[in-house]
Amino acid sequence: MMKKNVRRILAAFGLSVVLTAGSVSLAWADMPVVIVPLEESQSQSGSPAPGQSGTSSSPTEQTGPVASRPETAQTQETAQPAVNVQEPEVAAQGASLYNATTGQFLYTKNADTQYYPASITKLMTALLVAENCNLSDTVTFSATATTNLEAGAVSLNLTEGDQLTVEQCLYALLLKSANEVGNALAEHVAGSNQAFADLMNAKAASLGCTNTHFNNPHGLNDPNHYTTAHDMALIAQAAFQNDTVRKVASTVSYTLPATKNSGARTITMGHKMLNPSSSNYYPGIIGGKTGYTSKAGNTLVTAVEKDGVRLIVVILKSSSTHYTDTKALLDYGFELVKQQGTAAQTGTSSGTNTSVTGPGASIQTGWKEDGTGWYYIKSNGAKASGEWLQIEGEEYYFDDNAYMATGWRNFTDGSWYYFHSTGAMAKNAWVEDNGKWFYLGSSGAMLTNTTTPDGYRVDGSGAWVS
């Protein structure tokens, strides 16, 4: 049955294989301390509660994005501006800067040279798991999964018979970078590491990767396991388009349940640019993954979004310059986009590595409003639709009809999220709805069956238990 499942998944790729903003603080003695927007301190009866269907009414001019936002966000170009951005010095052997909004590479260094990826491999593993598993499925760790590791490999010290859910495994995979978790997920999806590697290679081919070959789910040293700065950017783009992967890869810390060799423990994200308390923190970051082996050196994948433009940086074969290289490329990329006025505009930087082409310079970008609601024109001239955008430090979701989401939304990861009437997603905040209080965590997902960071209990529906 497992082999049939693998063939069916591969068939999807046409391949076959023989398997071997304004707020007020409210507090009462018997209520949690809450932070809610001023315009939402009144009744929220018009918004659907978690578990119910329905869509909030479109924001009015008074309750939509503040009037200054469309004015400051939009840019109308009447002539192509001069582009004068100095390319950064990148110390890593391989690198790429990819504009995921327009599909253009803004900078490359040895783009098609094959390097060992190390643990950035796990972005592909996470993507395949998210696409083929239910998050609530149970993963049972085998003896092979927990022992088939090289000396010194990062591990959670899990043993045969330990069990975690798929969701818990994804956090362990991308935050802790636990290698036995990669093995267990591969076995859960495809039956073996080799069968899962076949799926990885099929997926890579479907994304347009031509110089990549995966041989395991974790990225530990293997002469037949390699990628390029070009290909890894395409893989990262697909990974961060997935709601589940993006949510996990943007999480700073997560608590795992007790296992045979450990009580409950909190794991933290290894990517320093995600941590606001780190000197490497980069505003607008939406996710990333670190990697290191003796042969791969430091590797790093980072995705950042500002004003509707998403940039992805890939660093390969670095000697401890992966963060400085990444920051330099991100700064360069956003300045390049800024000087062009629109990321889709025709132009070429002064450097030989950078080439940007597009349909022209007469695009108005930013916030727009019509009789139905607010929408957003991206730098390529298209309306944001069925996607997340990070704009001026806030996260927004645009429904399939291209209008800004407000109220409750339930996505493919199974979690509920709440968007204020300004469109900004609620995070680390209480929201009142129909007389009940709900807590939205650091990722924006509503907490259930747990204790909130400020010490209050919420039930299975997410409601505060008084």
Active site residue 58: no
Nearest to 429 by CA among 461, 400, 456, 459: 456
- The neighbouring-strand residues paired with 24 are 36
- CB count in 10 Å sphere of residue 334: 19
Active site residue 295: no
Active site residue 122: yes
Phi, psi of 414 (to 5 degrees): 85, -5
Six token digits for residue 243: 């709601």
436 is in an annotated binding site: no
Nearest to 373 by CA among 70, 34, 76: 70
- The CA-to-CA distance between both ends of the chain, in Å, stands at 48
Q: Which of 109, 122, 306, 317 is catalytic?
A: 122
Q: Which of 47, 56, 96, 119 is catalytic?
A: 119
Contacts of 361 (CB under 8 A, 6+ apart): 77, 78, 79, 80, 81, 341, 342, 345, 346
SS3 285: strand
Burial of 202 (0-12, 13-18, 19+ CB in 10 A): buried
What angle do helix axes 193-206 and 229-241 make, rounded to 10 degrees? 90
Six token digits for residue 267: 């794991």
Could you tell me where the DSSP H helices lie in 164-249?
A: 166-171, 179-190, 193-206, 229-241, 243-249
SS3 69: helix
Q: Which of 47, 96, 177, 443 is catalytic?
A: 177
* Cα atoms in the Cβ-side hemisphere of radius 13 Å centred on 366: 16
Question: To which residue do tokens 């040293």 refer?
Answer: 221
What angle do helix axes 179-190 and 2-11 make, rounded to 10 degrees? 90
| Residue numbering of the annotated binding site for substrate | 289
Catalytic residues: 119, 122, 177
Annotated binding site: 289
